Amino acid sequence: MPVSPAQWTWVNGEAVAFGLDSRGVQKSTKSGVTSNDVCNVAGVDLVYSGATPTKMGETLIQSFIRSAEDEIEATLGMFLCPTRVAAPAVVHSFGSAASMIGNIPQVQGQDYDVAEAPYDFIYDRWWGGAWGALQFRYRPIQKIEAFFLVYPLLNVVSQIPTEWFDEILDHQVGLIRTVPSTNLQLLPLFSNMIAVLGPGQTIPGVLRFQYTAGFTDAELSGQYRFIRQLVAYRAAITALGVAQGSINRGTKTLDVTIDGMRRAVGYSEKGPYYGLIQEFRQEAERLEAKAENLIGGPVMEVF
C-alpha cells in the first residue's frame, strides 16, 4: 500500500510547520493565527510591567497560540490543519495469498503526523440497518487513504475498497458507513465475523485506517473562520493572565509620589485584566459550543 507523506514539516522529531497558507507560505501555527492577531484581540499592550516594562516577544505569544490550539483539538476532537493519522502506525502488507499481516512500523514525520489506536469491531453497528456506522476520533475528514479489516485470530487482513464508503462518508462530522458495492468476495469475511459474535460483543482493534483529518486553510478562511477567533481568544486569555501577574496583582490601592506629584492606582483583587479575561472566556466558550454543534455529529461511543 503506498503511504502518503506526513502533512506537517518535521525537524529532528519535532513539528515546526503546519502546511501552507493561502499565499503558499509555511504556517508556524496550525490555525494560521499570528502573534499580531493575538495582540489585536487583547486590545492592550502585552508587556511585563516592572522597573522597565518589557514587551512580550513573538516567540512567547506563539507558544500561547500553540498551547491554545492543542487544547482546542483535544477538547473538541478536531485538527486545525490537515494532519495524517495512522490508526495504528503500521502498514499492512499483502502476502502471495493476501492473508498475512505485515506489521511494518511507520515513521512519525515521514509517514504520519499523529498515531492513534485502531477501532474495535462492534457487533451492533454491523447488524440490521447500521451499515458499520463509525465516527472517527478526529474531524473533519479530508480523505481516507486506506481501510483495513484485520481479524487477528485468523491472521487475516483485507483492504476494504474505497467505493464501499467514499460516496456516503460525512466528512464534516467524520461519520463513515460501509456498504458493499464492489469486490463482493470480501463479504464472507464480514459474515463470518458477525456469525461468531453474540449481540453487544466486540473484537478489539479490527478496524484500521490511514486517513487525513483537519481543517484546510481555505475552510478556516471561509465557513470556519470563527475557529481562528477561538484560538486568538484562548491565546489572549493566557497572555493577559501572564501580563497581569506582573502588575502588582492583588493591590487595591497603590500610592506613588514622584517629584511632588502623587498618583493613586487601584486594582481588583482578581487582577487588572480580570474583566477582560472573563469576557474573552465567555466568548471562547460560545465559539467552542458552535464548533461542537457543527463538527460534533451524532453522539457515538468511539473505541
Show which of 186, 213, 240 is a domain's final residue: 213
Is 202 in the same domain as 90? yes
**How many domains would you assign to the chain?**
2
Output the pTM of the full model. Answer: 0.80
How many Å apart are CA 86 and CA 116, to the nearest integer?
Answer: 6
Residue 115 lies inside a defined structural domain of this protein:
yes
Show which of 159, 178, 213 is a domain's final residue: 213
Cα dihedral 86→90→94→98 (10° resolution): -80
Helices (runs of H) and strands (runs of E) counted in the chain: 6, 16
Is 112 in the same domain as 178? yes
How many Å apart are CA 27 and CA 83, to the nearest integer?
Answer: 13
How many other C-beta atoms are found inside a 10 Å radius of the C-beta of residue 250?
11
Is 187 in the same domain as 281? no
**Are 25 and 16 spatial neighbours (Cβ–Cβ below 8 Å)?**
no
Show which of 213, 241, 274 is a domain's final residue: 213
Residue 95 lies inside a defined structural domain of this protein:
yes
pLDDT attached to residue 88: 87
pLDDT in 10s for each residue of the chain, 303 residues: 444 578 999 988 898 889 888 788 889 999 999 999 999 999 888 887 666 778 899 999 999 999 999 999 999 999 999 999 998 888 665 443 333 445 677 889 988 999 999 998 887 777 777 788 889 999 999 999 888 877 765 556 777 888 888 766 789 888 888 887 666 555 555 555 555 554 457 778 888 899 999 999 999 999 999 999 999 999 999 999 888 766 654 444 455 555 555 555 555 556 678 889 999 999 999 999 999 998 876 555 554
Is 230 in the same domain as 282? yes
How many Å apart are CA 152 and CA 130, to the nearest integer?
Answer: 24
Cα 171 to Cα 66, 144, 297: the distances in Å are 25, 10, 10
**Are 1 and 103 spatial neighbours (Cβ–Cβ below 8 Å)?**
no
**Are 13 and 209 spatial neighbours (Cβ–Cβ below 8 Å)?**
no
Is 151 in the same domain as 63? no
Is 35 in the same domain as 48? yes
Nearest of 123, 125, 126, 106 to residue 114 by alpha carbon: 106
Is 88 in the same domain as 76? no
Is 186 in the same domain as 273? no
Is 208 in the same domain as 107? yes
Is 285 in the same domain as 188? no
C-alpha triplet 33, 227, 27: angle, nearest 5°: 30
Residue 16 lies inside a defined structural domain of this protein:
no
**Are 161 and 182 spatial neighbours (Cβ–Cβ below 8 Å)?**
yes
Residue 287 lies inside a defined structural domain of this protein:
yes
Is 206 in the same domain as 124? yes
pLDDT attached to residue 283: 97
Residue 274 lies inside a defined structural domain of this protein:
yes
Domain span including residue 173: 83-213
Residue 139 lies inside a defined structural domain of this protein:
yes
Is 144 in the same domain as 161? yes
Three-state SS letters, 10-61: EECCEEEECCECCCCCECCCCCCCCHHHHHHHHCCCCEECCCCCEECCHHHH
